Amino acid sequence: MSSIQTQFLELTERHARYEAIDPKSELKDSAEGKVIFIAGASRGIGQATAVAFAEAGARAIYITARSEDALKETQALVAAANPQTECAFAVCDVTDAAQVEAAVSDCVARFGGVDAADANAGYLGPWVKIGETDPEGWWYNWEVNVKGAYHVIRFTLPHLIESARRHGSEGRSGGHLILLSSIGAQLVMPGASDYQTAKHAINRLCEFVQSDHGEDGIKCFAIHPGGVGTELGYNMPEAMHQYLVDEPDLAASFAVWLCSGKADWAKGRYLSATWDVIELTAMKDGIVADDLLVNRLRTTG
């Protein structure tokens, strides 16, 4: 794990929800009045994220995925978590621009806007050396993980910008955008060229969103959700399964924390849900001053 450790901050590792990011206690009502758009919310992390925002008092949650039955399950969980939170869904493939645009438009028509968006849909195929890969399978990683994230960005941004302006005038924080990255974005592991390069691109895409729209009030984050034992996670080689030790609601609660305004100072950066947020916040001044947690080419050292 030494190659992994040198890429990350030395903070207390968290593996499940804890007080500082708990939507039902420390972050209670932090999402009050807000509309949350989540792509890839049919199971695992996305489903847990929908529930966490409901627990944090969101006014409405709009969820998308490719399975209607699974979306109905998430909708029921949201209702159980908070009967006051409205929840609607659209069957949607994030690789299809028209479908994503239609889903966002439906969300706005139903609920009046989008205050936070989470591009959670992802894909991880078998790990195969580049010279042995299937070209269509290799590129499909990029279709889902990068093109899909771009579609969510492109069609929610106008509404997120309006949210940032509206909430800013009220002295609150809005206009949050979360992109699902991975610890793999910082690694070079044999056989993972499609997934890890796609997630590396997500980190840079996050920086571009911030560069292009920071003045519009947007706060964008690329996050590693932890090692979660989802179907996607178990597509990794068996030797990697030992690292799947984190609960889905860790990343879900971390997303609520990011959208609460407490982490606006870290906008445009890569963050790990496993990092203790109290310790992370204590490093704020140094991270901002030295422009840390972004991808850069080293030429010395």
Bridge partners of 246, per DSSP, are: 228
Which entry of 195, 219, 262, 270 is annotated as an active-site residue? 195
How many angstroms separate the CA atoms of 84 and 78, rounded? 9
Distances (CA, A) of 2 to 109, 187, 272: 49, 11, 17
Q: Which residues of 35-54 are buried (b: 16+ CB within 10 A; e: fewer)?
A: bbbbbbbbbbbbbbbbbbbb
Distances (CA, A) of 36 to 159, 230, 256: 11, 23, 10
262 phi/psi in degrees, rounded to 5: -70, -20
Pair of tokens at residue 123:
């894909």
Catalytic status, residue 140: no
Which entry of 34, 199, 262, 267 is annotated as an active-site residue? 199
Catalytic status, residue 195: yes
What is the set of active-site residues? 195, 199
